[in-house]
Structures are given as C-alpha cells and as structure tokens.
A and B are shown apart, each in its own frame.
Chain A
C-alpha cells in the first residue's frame, strides 16, 4: 500500500517540481553567450585589460564573433562588467583558450588568474593557454579574411598535431601542475599575428611565475623529446661534420628516452640517452649521391648523432645557466631524495648538474623513392 502511495506522490512531485523550475532563472541555451577565448593584457601592476570572444550564431550579424573588452583589477569583477555590455548571459563552460600578452607574462601574476579559472567548476581542465606577443585584444578583434571564427581558428591552431609537436599544448591543468610542482618550470606556446595569419613563434619559458625567455621551436622540441614524447615533429638538421654544409630532414620520428642520475645531490650528474628512429625524407649536401648503402647511412647516422648531441647539450647548458628546468630533469634527483623537495633545491641542482647526452639515431628507410 505504501508503495502505491509512493508511486503516486513521486509522479505528482515530479510534475509539480518540473513546473516550478521553469520559474527559476534557468537561461535557455540560445540566450547564453559561451565565451570561447579570454585574453588578458597588462596595463600596470594593479589593472589589466580583459577581452572575451563569444561566437555569434545569428546569420544576420556581420561578424561571427562578438568581442568585449573591459579594464579591471580582478577577474571576476571584469566578468561582471562584461555582463553589462552583453545582451546575453556570459558563461565559461565552453572556454577553449586563454591568452596573455608577453608583458603580462613577464610582469603580471599569471598563476593567480589561472588559479581562479582552475577553481571554477564551470571551466574544464583542457583549456589551452598561449602567450601573445603584442596585445590579445588586437588578436581577437582583428578581422581574419579567410578565418570566419577566431574561436575555432585559435583552438585548432593550438591543438596537438604532429608537425607542431614542439608545442607543449599547455592547458590549465598542465600549467598548474608544472608551476606547483617544485621539479618543473612551466612552458607556454608563444603566438604572434603575422599579417593575416597567426603563427606559433616559439615557446615561452617561465622561471617560477615569470616568463624569462622565448625559445625556438627546434629547442622546444628537445624539451618534448627529453620529456619522453613518443612521436616528434620532423627533425630539421643543419650540420657541419666534416662533409661541408649539410641539410637534412628526418620525418616520422619515433623517440625513446632513458635518463639516469647519479643520485648525488652534491655533485649531480645526469645521463640522457635518446634513441631516435625515423625516415630520411630529404637530404641536401655533399653525400647526396652515395646514400644508398647501409654503410654510408650508418656514417650519416653517426654524424647526426654527434650533431644532435651537440645541439642538445648546448641548449641544456643554456637552460642551466638560466636555472630553469622546463623538462623536469630534477625529478631524477627528487626520486632518490628523502625529505621535502623545494624549488630552491631545484635551482641549485640545475645550476650544478653535469649532463651527458647520448643520441642513437637509426634511419629506418629513405622514403619510398630509391
């Protein structure tokens, strides 16, 4: 009997409550402005310029994106200001990209802004971050003739793809992970508007919360390789190893990395062993006509090894000089260190560490043409 009653009450409840919620302020989908990109530009120590891009679905509108900018001191305050400008309710649950300009990255407090977004349950963790050279606002407001929607354009550009494998694809989680983890320093892709196109110029390396240097894609690829990325972007190698100037491109690169430390905090030493497999897709240089035998290829491999070892060593030495550790090398010391690991220990280790790089390249094939 009670069960019968329960059914009836449950159904009635559902009806009544369903009717009630309509009264609650539940904004239907079409009246919501879903922010796709948010950009922060540095003004001075206290204030910043906040710009959002919202895709526009109405076919009558001239532009496919609405953009709003406000000057504000706090992120949430800025969002309230934008609500005033917009005809729709601003929500962040489809946020895709966060942009900072270079000045903000060098002087502002990126961590604070991102932590605010990280805490917001509306925002997913897969929001990508990028640093803009000039101004984020300009980038969002510019009319790209062949890209109708900046929201999709930027998002697709920053997505992982094999030819931009140097890109760390930093998302909010990655940033929070690297900045809060005392063995890492964050890296963020650096983009710039190049006439009508946007281009990934390189990677911004952070020391703690501040951007200190911009590195080239080739150098950034080394970070990815050391971090153990399995498939790398095509390797573009310029070398001079006794055969004059040579230029070659290794494609479809598979990478395998082994790092070992000597577990000694006082005289730290690291051995990095990289194994690279790939297809030689293009070659320009003196040996062009005798690369058909296994022996000559083995020779070439040796030279490539030497060249890569030099490059990597040079780059790592540079990083050590700056005392930054974007690839998390100090993790190999933390693993064997009892007690609390701190950022200071990382800086100390990184400035002292002696690195030994060994590269083993194997060219599996030379492409489909003989």
Chain B
C-alpha cells in the first residue's frame, strides 16, 4: 500500500465523519481488501446488493466492467460523487479507486396533474425526478436528434439540470444564448425550477412570465418538436420552455385534442378574458366617478339606487372588495381542502350578501368582481393568472385617478411593456406582426389540424 492513497482515503473518511448515514465497509475480495463508502440515504438496499455486494463477492471482474476509475488527486470531486449517490470502492492491493453509480433515491410514481388537468389527452405528468421526466419526453420523441445536456447549477448545492432540444431543428443562436445565461448564474441554491426561470428571463423585473412552464409531457414534447428548448431540473416538477410568446400563455395543449371549432372558441375566451378581467372593475370606477354619460339611463338609475347607501367613493369600494377576494383566494389555497370549501361558501355567500345588505357595497359591483375573479383563472398558465391579479391594481388605481383616460394610459403602458419584452431575444408579442404567415393558422383561431404542420416563426427553427 502506498502512502498517498492511504492519505486520500483517510482524508475522505475524515470529511464524512460527521455524516451519520455514511457507511464505510471493509470487505475481502478475490483481488484483495476493499473499502466501500456510500451514503445509505441515497441508495436503496436492493440496488446495493445487486450492483456492489453480490458482484464483489462472486465476480470481481464484473465490478471492473461497470465501474469507472477515479483519479485520487481531486478530493472534492470524489466527495461530489459520493453526494450524488455513487458508491466508492477502494482496492487496497492495487491502490485503485473506483466508483459505481448506484443512485436510487426513492421517487414518487407518475401521477396525473392537478394544475394543468385536461379532459382529453394523456393524463401523465412530470414528477420530481429528472430521469423520469426525461424518460417521459423521450418516449414521445423517439428521434436520435433529441439531445439532452446535463449540467449542474447552484454554487452550494449542485443541482442537476438538463437542457433538451432537437439538434436539427433548434435555433443554434438561441441555444448559445441560453447556455451562456445558465453559465453566468451565480446562485447558491434552487428549490424549484421557477427560481432558475426568473434568473434566466430577459426582463426579470417584468410582471409577465417570459418563459413557458408546464408539467405536461405532451405539451413539452410538442414545443420541442417546434424547435424550442426545454430545461428540466432535478427535484422540481415543471419544465421551462423557451422562447415563447405572450400569446402562447393562452394556449392549452388540449386545444390540439379538441375539434378546431371548440378550440378556437376557448382560445378567444381565454384571450379576451384576460383583458376583461383587468378592465371590468376599473371600468366601473371610471364610469361612476368620471363618465356617467357612457352608461344607459336605466342602468345608471339602478346604480344610483344601489350605491345610495354606500359611504365610500367607488375607488375605495372596489379596492375593498378586491382585497376581500384576494384574502378569500389566499385563505382558500392555504387551508386544508375540507376547510377550504367552507371558506368559499362563507366568503362568497355570507360576506357578499351581508356586505350588500349592510350597505357597504353595491350589488352590481359584487357581480362584476365575482366575474372578474373567475375570468382571472382562465389562462392555462397559472403564473399569468397571478400576473393579471397584480396588473389589475395598476388599472384600478389609474382609473381612480383619471377615469377612462387613466385606463387607456394604463392600457398603453401594458402594450408598450409587452412590446418591449423579449423571450430569449425574440419579441414577446410576436403574433402582432406574425413572423410567418403560417403563424396565423395557430393563433386566436386554431385552424384544422392539417394546417398546423409548419414550425412557428418565433422558434426560428432551422430551415431544412
């Protein structure tokens, strides 16, 4: 035994001393003594048996075939391997360090999604395991051109991420930009991929999500085929798709499974619903405070009557009820499911009717607020629904300030902002000026499926 090897082993042993789940075993094999080191929490007993102990006892050669040799110089690297769930084997006689990938941490099985559920179409969703997720995609795209690059991010935790793309379709410029952005990240640790997303987005300050996020393998595969780039992260369920456009936030993968007429109708509903949800209550404020002339006489008299007991100006009235709705929503999502239902009933019926009867709110406003709260859940991407919640307050305040003029200013701001956004260098609002004429076939109106073969302009796919 040489001294240096022994030193390294001692050093490793020293470093793992205070980790309780470390297992250090000495074994006698055909090729002399061996020391085995692994973390029991990351490796299942069965895997260990079949991959390490049985071969070690019976056919040591098999071990040499499946394991890889490791240089002894880099202690940090060795420790990293241990952390990743690999088993270290040190053969004393030959002073050889070998490592076998035995990572087999328990994962949950594939279940169906709750956040992006559809009626038609495959029901499986990604899980928190990187391997499972990649496998779910690879099953759908059986094409040797599908590449996945694995790298680690997080300066202190070493989380694995995987970049998936189809080599002969993806735009190389986009890919390089993305790689560079990921390389530049200096962030200690990630618990979910959405944190990574916020770091690599073009404008991290914007309230709008500039990359698509999904937990549905079918939707992700569809984007891959279109030439987008997909990022997975170990331990997080969702995948990032980029580049994407504002319009795609309103596209659900179910649109492609439905008949084209239904799909078009639903898309229109979602798209205009987004604008309605941020405009309804501000309209109420501006009509009541600044422009009563825009409303019909009869409706106005009704409004006068229902507001006659309300002590606040419309702006405060609206802010009040909007905040109550936010509270209800937040309370509902934090509570256990069974209690949550009760809260819905208490909030919706009791507070609503009681507030009207107590003369705190006008009943027309209750109708409007309830509608706009429902409308805000229409976008299939939950992040966009949250965005609309936030933006609505900007609209409410500007309407309270300058009525319809303020509303239009806010509207102009919204468009100016959306027009300035980029997603991985491509304009976020691309369908405004479609980059390809064929993009129009799959916009607010989804054309029959046979027209949807072409790639979207926004992915700037390679020409064949």
**Physical contact A–B (CB less than 8 Å):** yes
Report which A residues bind B (CB closer than 8 A).
3-4, 7, 10-11, 14-15, 17-18, 21-22, 26, 28-30, 32, 34, 36, 55, 57-59, 91, 93-94, 96, 122, 124, 151-152, 155
Tell me if B310 and A30 are in contact (CB < 8 A).
yes
CA distance A34 to B315 in the complex (A): 21
Whether A94 pairs with B300 at a CB distance below 8 angstroms is: yes
Residue of A nearest to B400 (CB): A18
- Given A26-B313, A30-B307: A18 in contact with B401 (beta carbons within 8 A): yes
A140 to chain B, nearest CB (A): 16
A-B contacts besides A14-B401, A21-B400, 8 pairs, CB < 8 Å: A3-B205, A7-B205, A14-B398, A18-B401, A26-B289, A28-B288, A32-B304, A34-B292
**Interface range on chain B: under 10, 10 to 19, 20 to 34, or 35 or more?**
20 to 34
CB-contact partner of B401 in A17, A34, A58, A59, under 8 A: A17
Q: Which residues of chain B are within 8 angstroms of A21 by Cβ–Cβ distance?
A: 400-401
For A124, the chain B residues whose CB sits under 8 A away are 293
A61 to chain B, nearest CB (A): 11
Task: For A58, list chain B residues within 8 Å (CB).
Answer: 305, 308
- When chains A and B are docked, how far (Å) is the Cα of A151 from the Cα of B308? 20
In the complex, A140 Cα to B313 Cα: how many Å? 32
| 1/0 contact string of B276-310 vs chain A (CB within 8 Å) | 00000000000011111100011011011101101
**Residues in chain A near residue B301, CB distance under 8 A:** 55, 57
Our pick among A28, A93, A155 for the contact of B314 (Cβ within 8 Å) is: A28
Please determine whether A22 and B398 come into contact, CB atoms closer than 8 angstroms.
no
Closest A residue to B313 by CB, please name it. Answer: A28
Question: Chain A residues near B307 (CB, 8 Å)?
Answer: 28-30
Name B301-350 residues within 8 Å CB distance of A: 301, 303-305, 307-308, 310, 313-315
Interfacial chain B residues near A152, Cβ < 8 Å: 297-298
Say if the beta carbon of B141 comes within 8 Å of chain A: no
Question: Closest approach, in angstroms, between the C-beta of B401 and any C-beta of chain A?
Answer: 5
Residue contact A14 to B397, C-beta cutoff 8 Å: yes
Is B394 in contact with chain A by the CB < 8 A criterion?
yes
Closest 7 CB pairs of A and B: A93-B293, A57-B305, A14-B397, A57-B304, A30-B308, A29-B288, A30-B307
- Residue contact A22 to B297, C-beta cutoff 8 Å: no
A57 neighbours in B (Cβ, 8 Å):
301, 304-305, 308
Chain A residues positioned under 8 Å from B314 (CB to CB): 28-29
For residue B312, which residue of chain A has the nearest CB? A28
Say yes or no: B293 contacts A94, CB within 8 Å.
yes
Q: Which residues of A contact B298 (CB under 8 A)?
A: 152
**397-452 of chain B: CB within 8 A of chain A:** 397-398, 400-401, 413
Residues in A with CB closer than 8 Å to B313 are: 22, 26, 28
Q: Mark B201-222, 1 if CB is under 8 A from A, else 0.
A: 0000100000000000000000
Most buried by B among A15, A17, A18, A122: A18
In this complex, which of A21, A29, A151 has the most chain B Cβ atoms within 10 angstroms of its Cβ?
A29
B369 → chain A closest CB, angstroms: 17
The 22 listed contacts between A and B (C-beta, < 8 Å) are A10-B413, A14-B397, A14-B398, A18-B401, A21-B401, A22-B313, A22-B315, A26-B290, A29-B303, A29-B307, A30-B308, A34-B300, A57-B305, A57-B308, A58-B305, A59-B305, A91-B292, A93-B293, A94-B293, A94-B300, A122-B293, A124-B293
Counting chain A CB atoms within 10 Å of each CB, the highest count among B289, B290, B293 belongs to B293
Inter-chain contact B297/A29, CB cutoff 8 Å: no
Docked-complex contact B297 and A15, CB < 8 angstroms: no
Residues in B with CB closer than 8 Å to A7 are 205
A residues in contact with B305, CB < 8 Å: 57-59
| Distance between Cα atoms of A34 and B305 in the complex (Å) | 13
A216 to B23, CA, bound (A): 111
CB distance from A90 to the nearest CB of B (A): 13
Complex: how many Å from CA A120 to CA B397? 29
A29 near B292: Cβ-Cβ < 8 Å: yes
Contact A29 B401 (CB under 8 A): no
B189-233: which have CB < 8 Å to A? 205
Indicate if the CB atoms of A151 and B297 lie closer than 8 Å.
Answer: yes
A residues near B290, Cβ cutoff 8 Å: 26
Which B residues fall within an 8 A CB radius of A? 205, 288-293, 297-298, 300-301, 303-305, 307-308, 310, 313-315, 394, 397-398, 400-401, 413
Instruction: Check A32 against B394 for contact (C-beta < 8 Å).
Output: no
Min Cβ gap A95→B in Å is: 9
Q: Closest B residue to A28 by CB, please name it.
A: B313
Q: How far is the CA of A14 from the CA of B406 in the complex (A)?
A: 10
Closest to B316 in A: A22
Cα distance A119–B400 when bound, in Å?
28
What residue in chain B is nearest A124 (Cβ atoms)?
A: B293
In the assembled complex, the CB of A172 is this many whole angstroms from the nearest CB of chain B, namely: 14
Report A128 CB to chain B, min CB distance, Å: 13
Contacts of B205 in A (CB 8 A): 3-4, 7
Residues of A near B394 (CB, < 8 A) are: 11, 14
A93: chain B residues within 8 A (beta carbon): 291-293
- Which residues of chain B are within 8 angstroms of A10 by Cβ–Cβ distance? 413
Whether the Cβ atoms of A18 and B297 lie closer than 8 Å is: no
- Asked if A18 meets B397 with Cβ closer than 8 Å, knowing A29-B288, A29-B304, A96-B297, the reply is yes
Chain B, Cβ-Cβ closest to A96: B297
Q: How far is the CB of B363 from chain A (nearest CB, A)?
A: 14
Tell me, rounded to whole Å, the shortest Cβ–Cβ distance linking A20 to chain B: 9
Chain B positions within 8 Å of A34 at CB level? 292, 297, 300
List the A side residues contacting B397 at CB < 8 Å: 14-15, 18
Residue on A nearest B307 in the bound complex, by CB = A30
Cα A7 to Cα B413 with chains together (Å):
11
Could you tell me the distance in whole angstroms from the C-beta of A54 to the nearest C-beta in chain B? 11
Measured in the bound complex, the distance between the Cα atoms of B289 and A29 in whole Å is 6
Q: Which residues of B contact A28 (CB under 8 A)?
A: 288-289, 307, 313-314
- CA of A152 to CA of B300, assembled, Å: 13
Question: Which A residue sits closest to B293, measured CB to CB?
Answer: A93
CA–CA, A173 and B289, complex, Å:
27
Question: Nearest-CB distance from B411 to chain A (Å)?
Answer: 14
Docked complex Cα distance between A57 and B309 (Å):
12
- CB neighbours (8 Å) of A11 from chain B are 394
Q: How far is the CA of A29 from the CA of B365 in the complex (A)?
A: 14
- Residues on B with C-beta less than 8 A from A59 are 305
Min distance, Cβ B132 to any Cβ of chain A, angstroms: 39
User: In whole angstroms, what is the CA distance A123 to B301 when docked?
Assistant: 18
A94 to B295, CA, bound (A): 9
Q: With A and B bound together, what is the CA distance between A29 and B301 in angstroms?
A: 10
Complex Cα–Cα for A99 and B319 (A) = 42
Which chain B residues lie closer than 8 Å to A29 at the CB level?
288-289, 292, 300, 303-304, 307, 314
Please, how many angstroms separate the alpha-carbon atoms of A18 and B410 in the complex?
14
Q: Given the complex of chains A and B, what is the CA–CA distance between A215 and B400 in angstroms? A: 51
Closest chain A residue, CB of each to CB of B297: A94
CB of A119, distance to nearest CB on chain B (Å)? 16
CB distance from B295 to the nearest CB of A (A): 9
How many Å from the CB of A266 to the closest CB on chain B?
A: 50
Please measure, in the bound complex, the distance between the C-alpha atom of A62 and the C-alpha atom of B80, giving whole angstroms: 87
**Which residue of chain A lies nearest to B309 when distances are taken between CB atoms in the complex?**
A30
Give, as a whole number of angstroms, the nearest-CB distance from A40 to chain B.
Answer: 21
| CB closest chain-B residue, reference A29 | B288
Chain A nearest CB from B409 CB (Å) reads: 10
Min CB distance A55 to B, Å, is 6
> Chain A: which residue is nearest B288 at the CB level?
A29
- Determine how close the nearest CB of chain A comes to the CB of B360; give it in whole angstroms: 14
CB B197 to nearest CB in A, in angstroms, measures 19
